Structure 1
Amino acid sequence: MIKIAICDDDIDFMDKYDERIIDIFNKCTMGDETYSVVRYHSGKELLDNYKKDGADIFLLDIDLGDCKGYEVGRELTLRESDPAIIYITGYSENVYNAFVGRPIGFVQKKCLENDLEKFVYAAVYHVRKRAQRVEITGKDRKYELAADEIVVFEVYDHELKITLKDGEKILNGWLHTYEEKLEEYGFIKISRSVMLNPRYIKNISGDEAVMINGSIYKISRSRRKNVRREYELCTRR
C-alpha cells in the first residue's frame, strides 16, 4: 500500500478533496497496489508522525498555520534521501520558495482537478523506483537490497563494500558485475571503484562528492564534468 500524507490546516479543503485525490491515485494502480490517505493539520504533526504512519508521498500546503510548507519540505529532505513532495496552495506568490527540497511539482488549489493528476503519476513512479531491488551475490550468500537503501557501492582489492542507509555489507566481488544495473537505478560512477546514489549526495564541490552523512568521495579527473552533469540532471528530476 502507498500512503499519501496530506498536510493542510484547511479542514474543509481536505474533507472536499481527499476522496478525489484517492480517485486520481487509483488511476495509477499497478497490480494489487492500493492507496490510503493520512491527514495532518500542521507541519509539526506531520514531522512527528509520518514515519510511524508510513507515509510515502507528501502533499504539503505551503501556508500552514504553524509554519510554511516549504519549511516542512526542507526538513523532510534532511531526514529522507529523496522524499516525493507535491506542494499545494491557494496562492501563487510563494511559488519559488515552494521548490525547496526538489519537489515533484507545484499545484494551486483552484487548478487541483486539472493539474494534480500529472504530478501524481510522477510521484507514484518515484515511489515505485525507490522500491526496486538489487540482488548481490557473494561467495557464501546472496543479498537482495532495496536500491533506495544503498548509499555507496565501492570496491578495493576485490572486496566489495556496500554502504547502506543503516549499516553496511562487505563481500568479495567486482563493481563491473553490478554497474549496468546500478546505472539503471540512477547511480553515478565517480571513479573506477566507486558509484554513488545521488539521492544521498549533499553537494558536488570541485573534485569531491559530499554525502548527506558527511562522508566525502574523490571524483576522478576524467569524470568530473560528467558527474556534475548527471547530478544536476538528477536534482532537476
Structure 2
Amino acid sequence: MFNVFICDDSKLDIENIKNCLSVFSKKKHVDFNISEFSNPEMLMYEVEDGKIADIFILDVEMPDMDGFELADKIRKYTETSVIIFLTSHDEMASMGYKSKALRYVIKLNLERDIEEALESAVAEISSADDKTITLHRYNDYWRIPYKDIICVSRISRQLVITTRLLGEITDNRGIKEFFDLLEDNRFLFIDRSCFVNIDYISQINGFSLKLKDGQVLPISRRSLKNVKQTLLEQWGT
C-alpha cells in the first residue's frame, strides 16, 4: 500500500489524476491510499500532524502557494517521499528538479507520462536502501524508514514510537510483537517496556544510556549485560 497525496486547485484535474492512479493500480497490481487537497495549506496541516505520503503529486501553478514552495515545505518533514510535479507548461519542467522531484508531468500528456512517473516512484520507494514499516491508525497511514525510528516504548496501554522527523506515533500492538515485526538487529531492548535504535545511542553510563538528541533512558538490571555486550560489539571496543 502506497500513500499518495494529490494537491491541485482544479477538481477536474484531481479526478483525472485519480483515474490514472486507478488504471495504474489495476495494471500493475499496486494499491494506493489516496488523499486529495485543493489547498496547499490543508495538505501541510496533515504533514505537520505527522501524516506523510510516500508519493506527493503537486500542481505547480496554484494561487497563494505554488507547487515548488509546497515541495520545499514538505521536504522539511520527509527526505524520502517522492514528489511528482504537474503543470500545463513544458518550459517549467527543468525547474522541478530543484526540489528533488522525481518526475515532471505535463497535464496534456497526463495519461502517458504519469504512468512512467508512477513506475519510477514505486521502484524508487521499493528499492530504498533502508527498510520501512507502514503504520496505520484509523484512516491515517505512515511509511516509516527503520533509520528514522529512535526508540519504541510501552506507556500505559499504548505503544509510542518516537521518530526522527515525525515525532511520536502511537500504535495498539504489543511491544514484543512490534519488535518481532521489525526483525532488525539495530534495535535493542534496554528494558522490557522499551527498545532503542542502536544508531541513536551516544553513551552508556551505569544503568542509563544517552541518545544523540540528549534524551536519557534507564536500562534495567536484567538487560544491562546484554546491552553492554551488544554495544561493545557494535562500537568495536
TM-score relative to the length of structure 2? 0.56
| 1:37 alignment counterpart | 34
In the TM superposition, residue 74 of structure 1 has moved relative to its aligned partner by 0.7
Counterpart selection for 2:112 from 104, 114, 117: 114
- How far, CA to CA, are the matches of 2:210 and 2:116 in structure 1? 39
Change (3 A) 1:22 1:48: same
The alignment status of 1:49 with 2:46, answered yes or no, reads yes
- How far, CA to CA, are the matches of 2:210 and 2:26 in structure 1? 40
- How far, CA to CA, are the matches of 1:93 and 1:117 in structure 2? 21
Q: Deviations over 1:140-189 (max 9, x none)?
A: 679586xxxx9x567789xx98758x9798954369869xxxxxxxxxxx
Q: Specify the SS of the correspondent of 1:5.
A: strand
Q: How does 1:36-185 map to 2 (within 5 A)?
A: 36-50=33-47, 51=49, 54-128=52-126, 129=128, 131=132, 133=146, 134-136=184-186, 138=188, 163=212, 171-172=227-228, 173=230
Change (3 A) 1:161 1:115: farther
The residue identity in structure 2 corresponding to 1:60 is L
| 1:200 alignment counterpart | none
Q: Deviations over 1:23-52 (max 9, x none)?
A: 21444446xxx3122111122121112446
The alignment status of 1:8 with 2:58, answered yes or no, reads no
| 2:18 alignment counterpart | 18
Instruction: List runs of 5+ in structure 2 lacking aligned partners.
Output: 133-144, 147-183, 220-226
Name the count of aligned residue pairs: 171
Q: Deviations over 1:40-94 (max 9, x none)?
A: 1122121112446553210001111222101100111122233211111111222
**Identity between Structure 1 and Structure 2 (%):** 20
Q: Specify the SS of the correspondent of 2:91.
A: coil
The residue identity in structure 2 corresponding to 1:123 is A
Change (3 A) 1:163 1:58: farther
Change (3 A) 1:136 1:25: same
TM-score relative to the length of structure 1? 0.56
Determine which structure has more spread, i.e. the larger CA radius of gyration: 2
Judge conservation of contact 1:4–1:59 (CA < 8 Å) in 2.
yes
Instruction: List runs of 5+ in structure 1 lacking aligned partners.
Output: 179-191, 194-237
Judge conservation of contact 2:189–2:195 (CA < 8 Å) in 1.
no
In the TM superposition, residue 118 of structure 1 has moved relative to its aligned partner by 2.3
Judge conservation of contact 1:28–1:124 (CA < 8 Å) in 2.
no
